[in-house]
Structure formats: structure tokens, C-alpha cells
Structure 1
Amino acid sequence: MAKNNRLNLYMSALCMMFSSASYANDCTLAEQSTTDETKKYIQCLDKEIASLERSQQTWITKLTLDLGKIQDDTGNTQLMPIFKRSIKSQTRFLEDSCRWRYLQKMPNATQAAIVYKRCEIAILEQHIEVLKQPLKLF
């Protein structure tokens, strides 16, 4: 039964992985933009972040399932706690890396928000690429 559930979760994760579309940096902002254009740009960045977070979570789920299978097959219980710790560390890294950029742009809250969101997008994209790397390199 547990293997059946794991297979179902694995298949769901794969379907989500291939069906989740990224906005691929379609967000643009003219140098001399109006308040409405800036608002739409920030909303576009928010949508891109949400899409990237869904993709990231899908890869995390896939890797969690893969590591669970490796743990069951080999008895190696060290992998999962380290992987989970790395995910927490990645989240903290993103927040801290983007926060100092945000604070550097203050008191202009609009520019600060844009810088934070662009930073978040860049780090999420990098993390997803790392998560996509296959477990079996050799």
C-alpha cells in the first residue's frame, strides 16, 4: 500500500512538473512608466514567483520521493534529514539575499519591491536548476 501511494505521488509530481508553465521573464517595465504600468509589472513578477514556487515545490516533492525510495532500498537514513535541512537553508538564503537588496533601495518602496522580486526570481530559477540535476550522476 505504501509503495502504491508513493507511486501515485511520484506520478502526480511528474505530471505537475511537466504541466507547470513559467512566465519566463515575460514581465517588462518601461524606463518612464506610469503608476499603473508599474503596478501591472509588480503583479506580473508576483505571478512569475508563484509559478516558480510551484515548480520548485514539485521538484522538492519528486526528490523527497526519490530519496525515500533510496532510503527504503539501501537503509541509508542520512540523506533525507540533510536534504530537508538544505531546503530550509535555501529558503533562508533567498530571504536574506533579497532583503539586503530591498533595504538598500529604501525609502523608495516601489523600487525596493521590484528589486526584491527580481532577486527572488533569480534565486528560485537557480535553485530549480540545481533540483533538476539527476541523483544518479555515475
Structure 2
Amino acid sequence: MKKIISILLVLGLPFSSFAEEDFELKDCKKHESSHPEKAKKFLMCLDSNINLLERHRQTWITKLLLDTKKYQSDTGNTQILPIMERALRNQEEYMEDSCRWRYLLDMPNATRSATAYKNCKIAFLKAHIIELKSSKVLKEDLNI
């Protein structure tokens, strides 16, 4: 991720346009099956969607942290960044624990458990990306 940001900055491309890049998730429903061999494709498809969402989420987190560091250097307000970093860590732990109990709920069926976990993770990642994007409004209010 840091390489991508560095390349964008060197090329003079705006980071915000990269962060707002549209992306499409794969339609995994066509691979959904209870048969273990066929379920593998379905779970791999869900994994690819999770990876895509994780990258997109990390882009927004990086942008928000960079904007906050700039705001901190401009204003001298050093309180925001540590709280933001703690909130991001807590969000990650909450997401993991919330999806983990859904996984355990469907045990001993490993395929159903993995599907529940991955769908939970996708839902949380989508919601967190929306939340991170909404912080853009706050930054405009603060003139960041």
C-alpha cells in the first residue's frame, strides 16, 4: 500500500481519486453449493471479495491517517491521531470477534461456518468503508 501511495505522489496523481476508485465484487452466488468440492470455488470467490474490500478499506484508512497527520501538523492538535488509531484497532478486533462467533455458531459444518464468517466479514468491511468515506465530510468541515 505504501508503494502505491508513493508512486501516486511521485507521479503527481491525487491520492483521493485513487481512494474513491470504484470497484466491483465478484458474484459468488453462482458457485454456491453444499458439496465440499464445489463449495471450494464459492469460498475462494468470497476470499477474493474480502481481499478486494480489505485493500479498498486500507486505502481509505491510509488517506484518513495522512489527512489527520497533516491536520495535526497544521494545527498542533495531537489528540486526534492516537484516538483514531485506537478506534481503528478496536474496529478490527470487533469485526473479527463478531464474525468468529458466527463461525462457531454453525460448527461442526465447516463449509457453512466458513460461509457465515466470510459473509459477515464482507458485510463489516462494506460498512466500515462507508463509514471511512463519510469522514470526508468531517475533513471538509475542518478544512483539511
Please give the range of the TM-score, normalised by the shorter of the 2 chains: 0.7 to 0.9
Give the RMSD, CA atoms, in angstroms.
2.5
Q: For 2:109 and 2:73, how far apart are their aligned partners in 1? A: 52
Residue aligning to 1:68: 69
Partner SS state of residue 43, structure 2:
helix
CA drift of 1:37 comes to 2.8
Q: For 1:73 and 1:31, how far apart are their aligned partners in 2? A: 51
Residue aligning to 1:126: 127
Residue aligning to 1:114: 115
Structure 1: stretches of 5+ with no match in the other structure? none
Q: Is the 8 A contact 1:98 1:116 kept in 2?
A: yes
Return the letter of the residue paired with 1:43: M
> What is the TM-score when the length of structure 1 is the normalising length?
0.83
CA drift of 1:19 comes to 4.2
Q: For 1:113 and 1:119, how far apart are their aligned partners in 2? A: 10
> What is the TM-score when the length of structure 2 is the normalising length?
0.80
Number of matched pairs: 132
Return the letter of the residue paired with 1:17: A
Q: Is the 8 A contact 2:60 2:132 kept in 1?
A: yes
Q: For 1:28 and 1:75, how far apart are their aligned partners in 2? A: 50
Return the letter of the residue paired with 1:21: F
Residues 39 and 12 (structure 1), Cα distance of their counterparts in 2 relative to 1, 3 Å cut: farther
Q: State the Cα deviation string for residues 96-134 of structure 1 (Å, max 9, x = none).
A: 100111000001111100000000000000000000011
Q: For 1:73 and 1:61, how far apart are their aligned partners in 2? A: 18
> Matched residues, percent identical?
47
